[in-house]
A and B are shown apart, each in its own frame.
Chain A
Amino acid sequence: MPSDGPARRASSDDQPLTELRAILLGPDREAWDALRQRLENPSRRAEDVAGVLAEAVRLRSDVKLRRALQPLLEEALQLSVQSNPRMLADALFPIFGKAIRKAITSELDGMLQTLSQTLEQSFSWRSVQWRWESFRSGKPYAEIVVLRSLLYRVEQVFLIHRNSGLLLQHVAAPPEAGQAETKDPEMVSGMLTAIQDFVHDSVSGAESENLDAIRMGDTGVVLAYGPDAIVAGFVHGVAPRKLSRVFQDALDSIERKKAEALRKFSGDTSEFDSCRPQLQACLVGQGRAEERKAGSWTARLLLFGLPALLILAIAGWWIYSAVVERRWTDFAHRLENEPGIVLTHTERRGSKFLVWGLRDPLAADPASLLPAGLASSNVEFHWEEYHSLVPRLAAQRRLAELKEEVEKRAFGFATGSAEIVPDQRFLLEEVGSQILALNQAAKVLGKTIQIQVRGNHDPVGSENFNSALARTRAENVRLALIAFGVPSPLLIAIPEDLEKETCGALMEQERVVCRSASFRVIGVP
């Protein structure tokens, strides 16, 4: 083709040469033209490259191509997110949506578990200990609760290559009595992976789910998954949900550090020796059963002693209240049975006992009826007075009336005389019969009475004379009453020498009262 230009310029001179060329190259010329057209036309060239691009990329599947494509892909993704984030979100949703849902569920589960435990233990002796521990160590209380509330121990931790099931690393806690022995970790690791496959195959719809935990009696396996590796822990006891978080965190850190080694893993496990610290951090555990059983005596004493004391105190208080109540009831009964007392209402107000009712003034003093153990300051009486018809009280009242009657009477005398005035004879009969009735009433009540006959005088005259005069007046009235029929032992005659003030400065007509003999009944309250 380079000969094409000169051929045109010398078209007239080189006619034979051109003809020769046409003869020689004639059949190829069309192909050349076609080729030139393909090369010069960009759209044709693009079509050609498009035809082989996929094959070319497949052939060149080495690092160089990947490196060359990396920035392009990154920029393309960035552009895509900027222009239409929805598309990428939709594309990624099947992967992330599930993972996010699972993460939220597990987080909620964990929270609920912790919450319920916290509630259970809010008011226990242990919670007091934990609060103290939290205060002392500066750790949040919630963390202490989670740490202390579950009894478990991670005995072995496996780091497993997810694809091949090969064991990358294995750490074990120092063996303890009664610990289940795990056989060949290599094979256990493989079998765990196989079981995982088995579950996937057996449960339809679980292809993208993972086996989170396996339990056999007291021991269980807790698993955490990453894109290229699995962390599996053999746990003795009840594993808290937080444990899978611990595993997941360890695994995430390993996956970050060893991403390349994990992806290209071809059987050399020495690269993962440096992961031992992360795995050892998973060998956690809390509170062995023996420790819990032992417990301190003080704790137990407080734990069981306090409620027992409380129960005793309640029982004691109850018994005491019953006894006091009983005493008050007895007291109320005694009041009710007491003549001259009628209860209308009783009431307990705290320690006070309130009584409402009717009371005859002659009835016994209610406070004197209080039994031992009840203080009179604790009782409050509200009485209405009334007259009882109980015979004893009626007799008492009669006695009091008669006494009053008798004591109102007085015999008047003339100045200087001790003779009973004849027109007062009727008074003698009256007083005599009243004294006899009084004596009778006293006998009914079982009482003995006496009546003092008191002789008085006015201030006029000498003292000696007056004194003798008063005695004679009393004696005369006494004798007259005995003559009327009053038994003599009932009557005592005495001069009453205390009228100086009463009768000292009286007018003549008033002095009459002072020249008298009066009565005082003894033995009647």
Chain B
Amino acid sequence: MLKKKICMVGEFGVGKTSLVRRFVHSIFSERYLTTVGVKIDRKDVTIGSASVTLMLWDLAGEDELTQLNVSHLRGASGYILVVDGCRASSLKKAVELQQRIAERLGPLPFVLVLNKVDLRDKWEVQSAAVSEYGWPTFETSAKAGSGVEEMFLALAGSLLSANSAAEDPAE
């Protein structure tokens, strides 16, 4: 059984918690986010014959007042950057967070999620602006549920390939 720690990060209110709410197994209340600063959920993904258990650390969103608690990132195998399509600032925050995480944890598989695709006509974030980073990007709607499973599958896939690369280290 393969288990991986995944962190969900992003600006405050981009919909991280809503994004996973319908797709994961959860026992903890969302109050933990405001008290402990993190809520842990579980997502089981099967790719081919391999099954991966993703332990999702939903980290409290960052804003002007709250800093992301970097100690929660320790031991993570990958992460999900969540951006609210309706807020350009959230993309800027995601880019900044990506840099900070890469500095701390090194190169790790991650995906960028453009949430609230159901409100596309109100979007401030242009897909072109996102694609210039060259990151694996998914457009999701926590409300409609579209794109979420695909996002998890893709992340699990890149984790699996990173894992097999690590298991056959080149001398």
Q: Could you list which residues of chain A lie within 8 angstroms of chain B, going by C-beta atoms?
A: 62-64, 161-167, 183-184, 186-187, 190-191, 194-195, 197-198, 200-201, 266-270
Instruction: From B8-16, B34-42, B119-127, B130-138, give the one contacting chain A.
Output: B34-42
- Identify which of A161, A163, A186, A194 contacts B42 (C-beta below 8 A): A186
- Identify which of B1, B74, B76, B77 contacts A269 (C-beta below 8 A): B1
Q: Indicate if the CB atoms of B77 and A266 lie closer than 8 Å.
A: yes
Residues of B within 8 A of A162 (CB): 75
Using a CB-CB cutoff of 8 Å, which residues 19-47 of chain B contact chain A?
Answer: 25-28, 32, 36-38, 40-42
Q: Indicate if the CB atoms of B37 and A198 lie closer than 8 Å.
A: yes
Chain B interface, >50% SS class: mixed
Q: Indicate if the CB atoms of A164 and B77 lie closer than 8 Å.
A: yes
Residues of B within 8 A of A183 (CB): 27
The distance in angstroms between the C-alpha atoms of A194 and B35, with both chains bound, is: 11
The distance in angstroms between the C-alpha atoms of A125 and B76, with both chains bound, is: 56
The distance in angstroms between the C-alpha atoms of A10 and B159, with both chains bound, is: 71
Q: Indicate if the CB atoms of A186 and B171 lie closer than 8 Å.
A: no
- Identify which of A164, A167, A187, A201 contacts B69 (C-beta below 8 A): A201
Residues of B within 8 A of A64 (CB): 171
- Identify which of A165, A191, A267 contacts B28 (C-beta below 8 A): A191
The distance in angstroms between the C-alpha atoms of A164 and B52, with both chains bound, is: 15
Q: Indicate if the CB atoms of A190 and B40 lie closer than 8 Å.
A: yes
A247 CB, nearest partner CB in chain B, Å: 21
Residues of A within 8 A of B53 (CB): 186
- Identify which of A62, A184, A194, A267 contacts B4 (C-beta below 8 A): A267
Q: Indicate if the CB atoms of B71 and A267 lie closer than 8 Å.
A: no
Q: Indicate if the CB atoms of A187 and B171 lie closer than 8 Å.
A: no
The 7 closest A-B CB pairs, nearest first, are A164-B75, A163-B75, A190-B40, A164-B5, A267-B2, A183-B27, A197-B71
Contact with A along B49-68 (1 / 0, CB 8 A): 00011010100000000000
B166 within 8 A of A: yes
B78 CB, nearest partner CB in chain A, Å: 10
The distance in angstroms between the C-alpha atoms of A348 and B132, with both chains bound, is: 114
Not counting A163-B74, A164-B74, a sample of 14 additional A-B residue pairs whose C-beta atoms are within 8 angstroms of each other reads A162-B75, A164-B5, A164-B75, A165-B40, A186-B53, A187-B25, A187-B41, A191-B40, A194-B37, A194-B38, A198-B37, A266-B163, A266-B167, A268-B2
Q: Indicate if the CB atoms of A267 and B40 lie closer than 8 Å.
A: no
B100 within 8 A of A: no
B72 within 8 A of A: yes
The distance in angstroms between the C-alpha atoms of A184 and B42, with both chains bound, is: 9
- Identify which of A63, A186, A195, A268 contacts B55 (C-beta below 8 A): A186
Interface centre among B25, B40, B167 (most CB of A within 10 A): B40
